[in-house]
């Protein structure tokens, strides 16, 4: 039996999905595929495999099958599965959650700034998933740890990015939603404040993204396409403030730091994005009053000025397309207003 494993990156996070490919050996007798995959995938359960099959997360020779399909020699079986966040114990914490929508299948949450999505090295508590675990336990005290929502994470956004994130409440919903993210059919719109006057009213950035060659916690754009992973961002100018521009970004793909890396690539680093140099005055003459104005803006919005405003997807149970929208948070809105007023006064002086 041949086995190949490939990792995929999606919405603001690396290695969220794992694709395993199996080729059935010659001489293999007919055998139910759900049982066969369970025997060959470490850490799997037959129930989750059946949910994945029902959601179309498993194919045989490129086509979806049912759980009672009998495998044959030479069959190529492809399984796409979520990789759980890197932690073993999900501590339940009473963390306030801004729940935009909830039903039996999923939750849509408006994430605030300075909140990590899931536990990991250096962030074992205080995350969004810690709060979700506590919330679900209050709804159903009998729920066991196996069913707490680690499996429900189908995409992520950065710690200091605000906005909408969906969390699945069942394994079947997780499989359906993850497949949509993997297929790039989820509709996502971000609002960002970037340095400089973006000349084109709208455009598309097509450049691969991979880790920076020298700074391994950062990412970089590789337009030649030979390094990194395919990434496309569509942008549209919403408002110009001379030295900064308010833009709308629509993701066609979802790579780690995609908007931040792509906008820097075209010369428009996100405002106050300290990791990519946006916490310095990148446009405008540096003199005392202007510097004081910019520093005040940094103090008000002390993070990367990026907000996940719109999220749309097919509901995994009803099959209906649903959309959610989150208003620009107060810190970003205040800075936008300050730049708007500054720009208007500057234009009047000229």
Encode pLDDT of 67-79 as tens digits.
899 999 999 998 8
Spatial distance between the Cα atoms of 175 and 168, rounded to a whole number of angstroms: 9
**End position of a domain, from candidates 124, 158, 182:** 182
The answer to the question of residue 258 being in a domain is: yes
pLDDT value at position 15? 41
Arithmetic mean of pLDDT over the chain: 86
pLDDT value at position 105? 93
Spatial distance between the Cα atoms of 183 and 15, rounded to a whole number of angstroms: 15
The Cα diameter of the chain in Å comes to 84
Identify the sign of the CA torsion 36, 22, 52, 111: positive
Whether 198 and 330 map to the same domain: the answer is: yes
Q: Is the predicted pLDDT of residue 84 greater than 90, yes or no?
A: no
pLDDT value at position 18? 65
Q: Total domain count for the chain?
A: 3
Whether 258 and 332 map to the same domain: the answer is: yes
Whether 65 and 103 map to the same domain: the answer is: no
Quick one: average pLDDT of 128-138? Answer: 89
pLDDT value at position 13? 41
pLDDT value at position 56? 73
pLDDT tens-place string over residues 59-69: 899 888 898 99
Whether 178 and 212 map to the same domain: the answer is: no
The answer to the question of residue 89 being in a domain is: no
User: What is the Cβ-side half-sphere exposure of residue 157, based on CA atoms within 13 angstroms?
Assistant: 28
Tell me the CA distances in angstroms from 323 to 112, 313, 326, one per residue in order: 19, 7, 10
- Is-contact 106 168, C-beta < 8 A? yes
Name, in order, each residue with C-beta under 8 angstroms of 266's C-beta and a sequence gap of 6 or more. Answer: 203, 205
**Which residues on neighbouring strands pair with residue 33, listed in sequence order?**
none
Q: Is 196 left (phi over 0), alpha (psi -120 to 50) or beta?
A: left
Domain ranges, residue 138: 99-182
Name, in order, each residue with C-beta under 8 angstroms of 152's C-beta and a sequence gap of 6 or more. Answer: 106, 132, 167, 168, 169, 170, 173, 174
| Pairing state between β 162-168 and 306-314 | parallel
Identify the weakest region by mean pLDDT among 36-40, 164-168, 312-316, 322-326: 36-40
Residue 202 backbone phi and psi in degrees, to 5 = -160, 160
**End position of a domain, from candidates 82, 114, 134:** 82
The answer to the question of residue 93 being in a domain is: no
The answer to the question of residue 94 being in a domain is: no
* This prediction's pTM: 0.81
Name, in order, each residue with C-beta under 8 angstroms of 273's C-beta and a sequence gap of 6 or more. Answer: 260, 264, 279, 304, 305, 306
- Is-contact 47 34, C-beta < 8 A? no
User: Token match 């039903």: residue?
Assistant: 103
Q: Is the predicted pLDDT of residue 10 greater than 50, yes or no?
A: no
Spatial distance between the Cα atoms of 154 and 290, rounded to a whole number of angstroms: 42
* Residues taking part in catalysis: 158
Residue 24 backbone phi and psi in degrees, to 5 = -70, 135
* 3-class state of residue 297 by DSSP: helix
Closest CA relative to residue 221, chosen from 264, 158, 190: 264
Whether 215 and 111 map to the same domain: the answer is: no
Q: Is the predicted pLDDT of residue 250 greater than 70, yes or no?
A: yes
Whether 19 and 165 map to the same domain: the answer is: no
Whether 135 and 275 map to the same domain: the answer is: no
- Is-contact 106 173, C-beta < 8 A? yes
Whether 202 and 74 map to the same domain: the answer is: no
**End position of a domain, from candidates 144, 163, 182:** 182
């Amino acid at each position: 039996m041949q086995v190949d494993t490939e990792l995929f990156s999606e919405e603001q996070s690396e290695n969220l999905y794992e694709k395993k490919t199996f080729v059935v050996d010659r001489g293999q007798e007919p055998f139910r595929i759900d049982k066969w995959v369970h025997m060959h995938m470490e850490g799997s359960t037959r129930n989750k495999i059946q949910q994945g099959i029902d959601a179309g997360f498993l194919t045989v020779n490129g086509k979806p099958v049912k759980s009672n399909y009998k495998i044959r020699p030479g069959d190529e079986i492809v399984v796409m599965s979520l990789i759980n966040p890197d932690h073993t114990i999900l501590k339940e914490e009473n963390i306030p959650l801004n729940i935009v929508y909830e039903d039996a299948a999923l939750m849509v949450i408006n994430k605030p700034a300075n909140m990590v999505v899931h536990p990991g090295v250096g962030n074992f508590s205080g995350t969004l998933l810690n709060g979700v675990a506590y919330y679900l336990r209050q709804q159903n005290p009998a729920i066991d740890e196996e069913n707490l929502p680690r499996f429900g994470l189908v995409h992520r956004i950065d710690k200091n990015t605000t906005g909408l994130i969906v969390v699945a409440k069942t394994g079947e919903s997780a499989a359906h939603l993850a497949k949509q993210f993997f297929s790039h059919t989820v509709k996502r719109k971000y609002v960002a404040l970037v340095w400089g006057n973006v000349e084109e009213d709208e455009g598309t950035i097509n450049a691969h993204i991979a880790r920076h060659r020298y700074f391994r916690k950062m990412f970089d754009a590789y337009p030649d396409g030979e390094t990194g992973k395919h990434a496309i961002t569509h942008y549209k100018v919403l408002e110009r403030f001379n030295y900064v521009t308010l833009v709308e970004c629509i993701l066609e793909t979802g790579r780690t730091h995609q908007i931040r890396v792509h906008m820097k690539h075209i010369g428009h680093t996100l405002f106050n994005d300290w990791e990519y140099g946006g916490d310095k005055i990148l446009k405008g003459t540096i003199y005392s009053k202007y510097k004081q104005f910019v520093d005040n803006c940094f103090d008000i919005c002390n993070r990367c000025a990026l907000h996940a405003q719109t999220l749309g997807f097919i509901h995994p149970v009803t099959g209906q397309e649903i959309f959610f929208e989150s208003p620009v948070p107060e810190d970003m809105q205040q800075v936008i207003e300050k730049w708007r007023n500054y720009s208007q006064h500057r234009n009047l002086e000229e």
